Amino acid sequence: MPPRKRVIAGISLFAGLVLPFAVAAESAPDYASSTQTGDWNGARSELWQRGVAMEAGLRLDSLHNRGGIMEGGQTVSHLELKLRADLEKLLGWSNAVAYLNTDTDAGTGINGRRTGSLMGVSNIEVPVPTTRLFHAWILKGFLDDRFSVLAGLYPIDSEFFTMDSAATLLHPAYGTPADLALTNAPSVFNNSAFGIRAKWLSENRDWYAMGALMDGIPNDPVRPKATAIRLARGDGAFVIGEIGWMPLEFGHLFEPVDPASVRPTPGLVAHEKYGGVSKYAIGFWRYGNRVADQLDIDADGNPLQRRSQGGYLLAERTLFSLGAEAGRDLTAFARYAFSSGHSTAIDRMWNFGVRLRGPFASRPDDSVAFGWTRSRLAPKWRAVQASAGTGTASAEEAFEITWRAAITPWFALQPSLQHVRHPGGASATRNATLAGARVEITF
């Protein structure tokens, strides 16, 4: 049986098992207009009302590089399949959610082969093409969902250090900070680890505090294409914590407490579209295991073993609305990240940018974003390069401007232009300019 028919058959079987259970009707997401495959003759809304949401999405980044290591173009792809289950509706387990997300990532890599940036150029590019579980967790809420605990395969970049207004940009440094991304395999796209996350919300949902304890090395490095929960001796642990204030979220009690990424309800759509963005946060992270220092040695000439640690500060705020139409506004964001720099090429990073929603009244669902990132090259890394005879710059910088055009609610075309100064950190490497587009489809 062809793969597409197997998927359809599996969905039909799942619907047949779930639909007989009666539940109270609710306002389901607008599948008919917001997804390419529609509402499946009402079956999709029926499933949602019974606690099951299923979705698929495809992203393609086609970029042409000029400068850097080698000129030319590449295309990378990202296919994700999602299933969110409301366990209270399905099993009677109050305030509990299960979530599965599989990622299939392919492409030879525009940055790995051509640009050579330490920070990367596309947030869907991966070092090894693979299909694996990315999310696989259960969340339980307590105290009217003001406190929640999540356990399973969990990528920390789904909640920690996030900036919603920067998410339009293709460059990966607006997601996971570049200094953290270069450490010993944090639990981020597309390589998640097993762990536990706890989160607390204030009564009015405008203050939060959260922390996560994760396996120090996700999956199995020996089998980079596999999904594995290894918890091997020597992996150590990774811990991260964040405290934040979101004043514009005051009183929005209908917001989900889980990081599942599926179609939102009409009420949440209205809030996200017409409400502004406000977030101020501080976070810290640390590895439990030690890794070799890239420069310092002991009395026997062996590299000193040190723990990697760091933190970040971030802020984003809607500055003003455009005209009288709600949902059209300008938001600014900024983030500063820092780390010890004992074993990585980057030890400081700055992000700044703006996002413009609804640039024209006739294009209310479009977004235009501009971002600038500067990543300072760690002094120890520069010293190592100098000892090898390689001259280095003080920092790698990246500029990006992009326009996400919503052609339909389920199809978007996003041209992007990037310029990278000192890709890879070597002063002799040519600056790189990348032009191309992202295609995004929600099924």
Percent of the chain surpassing pLDDT 70: 94
Mean pLDDT score of the chain:
91
Confidence tier at 26 by pLDDT (50, 70, 90): low
pLDDT at position 10, please? 44
Q: Residue 86 carries which DSSP code? A: E
Residue 290 reports pLDDT greater than 90: yes
Q: How far does CA 162 lie from the centroid of its chain? A: 8
Q: Please state, in angstroms and rounded to a whole number, the distance separating the CA atoms of residues 411 and 337.
A: 34
pLDDT at position 33, please? 92
CB atoms within 10 A of CB 428: 10
The 3-state DSSP class for residue 318 equals strand
Structure-block tokens of residue 263: 């179609």
- Which residues on neighbouring strands pair with residue 84, listed in sequence order? 53, 99
Residue 107 reports pLDDT greater than 90: no
Q: Please state, in angstroms and rounded to a whole number, the distance separating the CA atoms of residues 378 and 239.
A: 23
pLDDT tens-digit readout, 362-387:
999 999 999 999 999 999 999 999 99
Q: Which residues of 150-159 are buried (b: 16+ CB within 10 A; e: fewer)?
A: bebbbbbbbb
Total count of residues recorded for the chain? 443
pLDDT at position 259, please? 94
The set of residues, in sequence order, having a beta carbon less than 8 Å from that of 168 and lying 6+ positions away, is 355, 367, 369, 402, 404, 414
Of 76-85, 198-207, 270-279, 428-437, where does mean pLDDT reach its minimum? 270-279
Structure-block tokens of residue 35: 């997804």
Looking at this protein, which amino acid is placed at residue 67? G
CB atoms within 10 A of CB 9: 11
Structure-block tokens of residue 181: 């991304």
- Domains of the chain from N-terminus onward: 49-442 (2.40.160.180)
Residue 354 reports pLDDT greater than 70: yes
Residue 357 reports pLDDT greater than 90: yes
Residue 7 reports pLDDT greater than 70: no
Distances, alpha carbon 281 to alpha carbons 161, 315, 386, in Å: 8, 7, 37
Average pLDDT of span 322-343 = 92
The set of residues, in sequence order, having a beta carbon less than 8 Å from that of 88 and lying 6+ positions away, is 51, 94, 95, 96
Structure-block tokens of residue 432: 């790189």
Average pLDDT of span 201-211 = 96
Helix (H) / strand (E) containing 367? strand 367-377
Confidence tier at 12 by pLDDT (50, 70, 90): very low
3-class SS shares of the chain: helix, strand, coil, % to 5: 15, 45, 40
Of 10-19, 41-50, 406-415, where does mean pLDDT reach its minimum? 10-19
pLDDT tens-digit readout, 231-246:
777 789 999 999 999 9
Percent of the chain surpassing pLDDT 90: 80
pLDDT tens-digit readout, 155-175:
999 999 999 999 999 999 999
Structure-block tokens of residue 114: 């051509």
